[in-house]
Chains A and B, each alone.
Chain A
């Protein structure tokens, strides 16, 4: 199919272009203001973060999280200081036992006395 325009077609297209150009110049001031407003809004919105940037930042956060977790898990477990058993505490705090402990010297002397006899 021949799609070449002839001279009349071209003249027609040129006239249509002039008219359309003219219609832009004659555009209502209300629309012009709304267009300006739309342009300012678009420029204020600024560039969107690209998908790759979102992926990279997500990956970075995940890596930091994984590292923190592994460091926490791998830290050496410190020996807990030996905590005295409940019985020992009772022994220490009981008044009777303290008396008994004071008599240790007497029992030692008694044992030595029996041995030498």
Chain B
């Protein structure tokens, strides 16, 4: 009732406030759009490396985007980056837990089947040698090998590596995103780098 009285007595002020509110919402939406456009492809690649599946990765990123907008869109813009990574890494951890259970059942049902050979990472690279230069081809192969090596790491090491080395989050932000202590982040990251160097070794193209 007081709002109605206010609107009746000062309509121009009321309209001004309403317009300012709408403009603020529009600004925020545009800022969120810019932020998400800036991180979505990297987030997708992170999830793809973690899951090894593009569709699963897409679902995880979509979930993370939705949660950020719904729950934390009103927060300060500077907080969106760490929050988004926290949400995404949490989604990836959940996916890992589910996959672990699924794989356990699958292994139980197929324990009598012959063991299949491990895929050669280089086999998964599309044969585009006719279209690419030697340098581009080497880069593609190096990326495929890195993807494969990252997938062999324990999840915590993988997360520490992508957040520290690629996303360049500091130790505190990485610890928040991973939900662990700063000391654990340092240990996981160190082990990840050493393990990757060992896995890729001198043969890394």
A binding-site residues for B, Cβ under 8 Å: 1, 3-5, 8-9, 12-14, 16-17, 19-24, 27, 31-32, 34-36, 38-39, 41-43, 45-48
Name the one of B45, B69, B190 contacting A5, with C-beta atoms under 8 angstroms: B190
Given contacts A35-B44, A35-B61, A38-B40, contact A46 B70 (CB under 8 A): yes
Interface residues of B in 157-205 (CB under 8 A from A): 161-162, 164-166, 168, 186-187, 189-190, 193-194, 196-197
Chain B residues lying within 8 Å of A3, measured Cβ to Cβ, are: 186-187, 189-190
* Prevailing SS type, chain A contact patch: helix
* A38-B197 Cα distance, complex, nearest whole Å: 35
Given contacts A13-B193, A17-B165, contact A38 B45 (CB under 8 A): no
Question: In chain A, what residue has the closest Cβ to B59?
Answer: A38
* Prevailing SS type, chain B contact patch: helix
Chain A residues lying within 8 Å of B17, measured Cβ to Cβ, are: none
Q: How far is the CB of B162 from chain A (nearest CB, A)?
A: 8
CB atoms of B41 and A35 under 8 A apart: yes
Name the one of B41, B71, B168 contacting A32, with C-beta atoms under 8 angstroms: B41
Q: Provide 18 A-B residue pairs closer than 8 Å at the C-beta atoms, listed in order of the A residue.
A: A4-B190, A9-B194, A12-B196, A12-B197, A16-B165, A17-B168, A19-B143, A20-B143, A27-B44, A31-B41, A35-B40, A36-B40, A38-B40, A39-B36, A39-B40, A42-B62, A42-B65, A42-B69
CB atoms of A27 and B45 under 8 A apart: yes
Chain A residues lying within 8 Å of B42, measured Cβ to Cβ, are: 20, 24
* A39-B45 Cα distance, complex, nearest whole Å: 16
Given contacts A3-B190, A5-B193, A48-B70, contact A39 B41 (CB under 8 A): no
- For the complex of A and B, 5 pairs with smallest distance between CB atoms: A48-B70, A42-B65, A3-B190, A38-B62, A13-B165
CB atoms of A42 and B66 under 8 A apart: yes
